A and B are shown apart, each in its own frame.
Chain A
Amino acid sequence: MPSEPLFWQRFDIFGRDFVDAGKASISIKGILREIGIHPSLIRRAAIASYEAEMNVVLYASKGTMELRVTPKDIRVMVEDEGPGIPDIELAMREGYSTASDEIREMGFGAGMGLSNIKKNADDFIIRSLVGKGTTLEITFRL
């Protein structure tokens, strides 16, 4: 049986790197355009991957974001080495944030990131280990 077409690419994300922050999700948007994904789905994937990318930049020391595209779905997988999230349920609430004043002054940390990912995704799995890091698996069905 021929294997299913699959495109994947991994991007490195560095904590506190505000110069390159957002570039991985911009690349993802470009790739999805080239493949010819519907614009409204591209927009959702771009928003969710941007929020996920910014979470790594804002809170973790480093991480990776992997894009996987098949004719059935688009998957964005994020893995970071960071503080982890003690109470995921609480963190998922709109407006809940542990962001420092410094982060808030830059216009981030409004506590909308994770809920925004969930809102835009068809499936969203989040796992976290305090002191180790967080992994996200965000799925969009075609």
Chain B
Amino acid sequence: MGEYFHSVRVVPERCIGRMACLKVCPTEAIRVRHGKAEILEDRCIDCGECARACRHSAIIPQTSSFTEFSEFKYTVGLVSPVLYGQFRKDVLPSTILAGVRKIGFDDACDVACASEAVSAAIDEHLASYRGPLPLLSPFCPTIVRLIQARYPSLIDLLIPIDSPMEIAAREVRNKKMKELGLRRDEIGVIYLTPCPAKMVSIKYPLRKRVSHIDGAIAISDIYHSLLSAMGEVNSSAHEVEEPVKGMGLGWPVLGGQVSALQAESSLAVGGLGDVERILDEIERGKLGDIQFVECHACAQGCCGGSLTVGDPYVTRGTILSLVARLGKAPCADREKIRELYQKRYFSLPGKIPSRPFAPLDKDIGKAIEKRKRIQETHEGLPQINCGACGAPTCLSFAEDVVLERARLGDCPVLTARQARTAADSSPDLDGASQVLTL
């Protein structure tokens, strides 16, 4: 199970065991042992909540740094529209792109236009699709991982259309190869990412193909230098370039994918708990009257990504005001998209495999026995889910005990109770035990 690449990793030297990460993990994948956090690899779905919660930078995103790209002859910064929401409302996307060109990238490429094209392709897909509904948006890598692990029966509902960042990367690379006469591997296309999960989809793309992106740098890592670089951007210098526009600008906010669609019945859901509730409904065969569900691990959509700097609500407001000003003018030609869709330009071939969490035991009889022992162990625990043992809940601790990842004595509450009972029943310590129980 150790072969997974994950969006985050623990730096043990920095971990001081404050356990802020323990309870925020939606899949109970974190344990704190001997004062250090550990991630149970096969349970992690790359949401990055632990890294967000840690105040000591002990859980860090596995994103790239600039030095990794020094070998490329030419680099392109691929700009997620989330970045446009990190500045004041009056800062135009084109100014931000100009800033990206000043901080070490040879060129900057907008992704919002590709997002609009992908929306149009989804419309085409929905119009011709005749299978079970609703279809699910496949663009949040954490949601895809969640579905692989817990909802394998819904895998086929994930729309087989490539993500805007991949489409934009493919296009800009081809363009630069032609323009500059460079080889494919001489150009580095680097995504400026709002979250660590995107790194997983770049390193290990689903459906067994290679990503068109060479790495991802956190928005939070470049923000400071971008801010100062933008002060130097000559306001007339970038006016000549193609302005960024279209409904794709709204993709980072929750509901942005849905509002860029023509489909009439769709819904948008953000936050893992709410997404799971909706997926449970879909798994029961409900919601068949809805065509498309946009789902995000983050409650505010990509605006709330853990590698952003702006407050997600403020970012949302900024993005919505950009959409109001620049969204109406389409940047993609619908007719052309239809043609490209039919040529399978947006399609992703292959099947996404299921990847369930490891069962308690490979042998079903033993797994049943273990589950029974977990239940019995749990009944004997305080059930206050304090987390002091280093497991997030008493039930997960009971599982650790049965799977021999922990000992019953690791529960400090139980140990204290036993000590008190022992003291109570010992006649010599009567006086002391009265003091203790006061």
Contacts and interface: CB of A to CB of B under 8 A. Distances in A.
A71 B368 contact: yes
A22 interface: yes
A66 B285 CA distance: 23
A121 B270 CA distance: 33
B402 to A, nearest CB: 11
A8 B369 CA distance: 10
Interface residues of B, number: 24
Contact of B360 (A4, A6, A36, A40): A36
B361 A46 contact: no
A50 B285 CA distance: 11
Interface in A70-105: 70-71
Interface residues of A, number: 25
B364 A71 contact: yes
Contacts of A46: 280, 283-284
Given A5-B372, A6-B368, A46-B284, A35 B354 contact: no
B277 to A, nearest CB: 9
A7 B357 contact: no
A38 to B, nearest CB: 10
A131 interface: no
Interface string A8-35: 1100000000000010001001010111
A67 to B, nearest CB: 10
B84 to A, nearest CB: 39
A7 B368 contact: yes
Interface in B131-162: 150, 152-153
A116 to B, nearest CB: 8
A47 interface: yes
B325 to A, nearest CB: 39
B155 to A, nearest CB: 10
Contacts of A7: 368-369, 371-372, 375
Interface string B370-387: 011001000000000000
Interface of B: 150, 152-153, 280, 283-285, 354, 356-357, 359-362, 364-369, 371-372, 375, 399
7 contacts: A7-B372, A34-B360, A35-B371, A36-B356, A36-B367, A39-B152, A142-B364
